[in-house]
Amino acid sequence: MKSCPTCHRRFIDSEPSCPLDDAQLVASPGEMPPGLGKELGAYRLVCLLGEGGMGNIYVARHAQLNRHVAIKLLRKELASRKEAVARFFQEADTINRLRHPNIIESIDLVEDVVDGAYCVLELLRGPDLKRRLGQGELPVASVLDIGAQIADALSAVHGLGIVHRDLKPENLILVDGEKVKLIDFGIAQIGQQGGGTSLGTAAYMAPEQAAGKPVDGRADVYSLGVLLFEMITGRHPFPSKTDSEYLLRHADETPPRPGKLAPRCPPVLETVILRCLEKKPEDRYPDAATVAKVLRAVDPNTRTSRGVAGKVLAGIVIVAAAGAGAFYVATHRPEPTESQASVAPAAAPLVAAAPVAPASPPETQSAAPAAPSSVAPIVAIDVVSTPAGAKAYRLGETVPLGTTPFTVQLPRSDTPIQIRFELAGHEAKQVEVPIAASMEIDVTLARMAQQKTTVAVDHKAAVAPDKIKPKKVQREGVMDPFAP
C-alpha cells in the first residue's frame, strides 16, 4: 500500500502518484481500506475518498484511457432495499440532468448483477469550502464571487424543481482556485413533497426544514446566508455544540450583524446576508438567481460597515428618547472614496429608485460665478435598528421599505415621513424621518414585557435534565465524499 505525503490518502501499490495533487506516492504500512483494487467494469478502485450512509466514494482509474474518476458505489446491504436503490438512482439522474459549470458532472450509471449499482462522476481536484474556512475569513471579493457561483448552481437546481437540502461547506469543492462545484444530491427533494422528516445538516438547516415542513428553494437560500456569514466573518452565526442547539437557535434567535463582527463587510452585503437568514421563507429573496444578481452588483471596495472608523457622525441629533428606546439621525454621510465616486451606488440593485446624483466639484475662488446649485432630487437613507432584522413600513403602506439594515432611496422633500418598525418579540416603534438630505437613522427597539404564567409540574413524572436525550437529525444519504 502507498500513501500521499500531501493529502495523506492511501492508494493501491500500482499507483505512481496522487491524482488529486500530483504528489509522488510513498510506501506506507497499515491495512488496505476496504474495496481497494476491486474492478468495476473498465474501472479499478485505487483510493477511498469517503464513506456515507448510502455508499462509499472512491477514486478509480479507467484501465484503457488511464483517466481518473470518482465512483460512488451503493452499499451491498442496501441493494435489496427498493427505496434505497430508488434514491441512489434518483441522485444519479438528478446530477445527470444538472449540466452546469458549478455542479459536479455525471459520467455514467451502472447497475451490475454482481457488483451492484454505482455512479461514475468527474474527479474534482481541490479543497472543499470547509477546509478553506478553516484558514479564516475570506476576502470580500472572494465572498462575493464564491457566493454568486453557489447561487448560480442553486438557481439551476431549483429551475428543475429540485431542492438540494444539504448545502454546507463540505459539499462545495473549490477547483482551480475559487471555481465552485456543488456536490452530493443524496437527500435532494425532487418536486413538491410533503413535510414530516427533517433531512439535512443541523448547522445549515432553514427553520422550516428543521421543523419537517414542506420546503422549496428558499430553504437553500437560507443555507446560503449561513455560508455567506461564515465566509465574511470566519464564524457561524449561531455557534452551537449540539444539533438540538443549532435547531433552536436557527428557529428563535436573530443573527448578529456581520458588520459588527467583520468591519470590512460592505453594508449591502450585510443586508443580503440578513435577508437570506430571515426566519420566514416569504421574507427571504424569492429565488437564488436574485441573490446571484445582487451579489455581483456589490462593490467589494465600498466603505466599511456602519459603526466603525470611516463613518462620519457629525451632527448626530437625538430626535426621540422614550421608554421604548432611542432614535438617532446622522445628518452627515461620509464622503465617497475615489473608487466609489466612479461606480453606481452599491445599494442601487436593492431598491427601485434612481441613483443619487453625483455632487459637483467645489468652485475655486478664481472661477466665474456659478449658477445656483440645484438640490439632489433623490436622497439615500441608511436605516439601521438594534437589534437588526426589523421590518420598516412607511405609514399607510403594507409593503415594507426593507429589513434592517438597508438603504432606501426616496424623492427629496421638506416634509418628513413616518416609518413604523416591527420585529417579533419587540414593541413596534413609529418615528418621523426627515428626507430633505441623505442621512442615516438608527432605531433601538425594546423587548416586549413577558407575562409570567404558573405551570403545574408533576414532580413524579419529571425527568432529570441530564436524562433528556437531544433531538437527533435524520442524516440518511448525507456524506462527505471529497473532504480529506
Q: How far apart are CA 369 and CA 106, in angstroms?
A: 70
Phi, psi of 13 (to 5 degrees): -65, -25
The cell numbers describing 332, all together, are 452627515
Specify the DSSP class assigned to residue 53. S
Q: How far apart are CA 452 and CA 455, in angstroms?
A: 10
Q: Which residues of 182-216 are buried (b: 16+ CB within 10 A; e: fewer)?
A: bbbbbbbbbeeeeeeebbbbbbbbbbbbbeeeebe
Question: Residue 365 contacts by C-beta under 8 Å, 6 or more apart in sequence?
Answer: none
3-state DSSP assignment of residue 49: strand
Q: Which residues are known catalytic residues?
A: 166
Tell me the C-alpha to C-alpha distance, in Å, between residue 124 and each of 54, 55, 59, 167, 464.
20, 18, 10, 18, 49
HEC-encoded secondary structure of 197-262: CCECCHHHCCHHHHCCCCCCHHHHHHHHHHHHHHHHHCCCCCCCCCHHHHHHHHHHCCCCCHHHHC
Phi, psi of 45 (to 5 degrees): -75, 120
Asked if residues 207 and 198 have their Cβ atoms less than 8 Å apart, the reply is: no
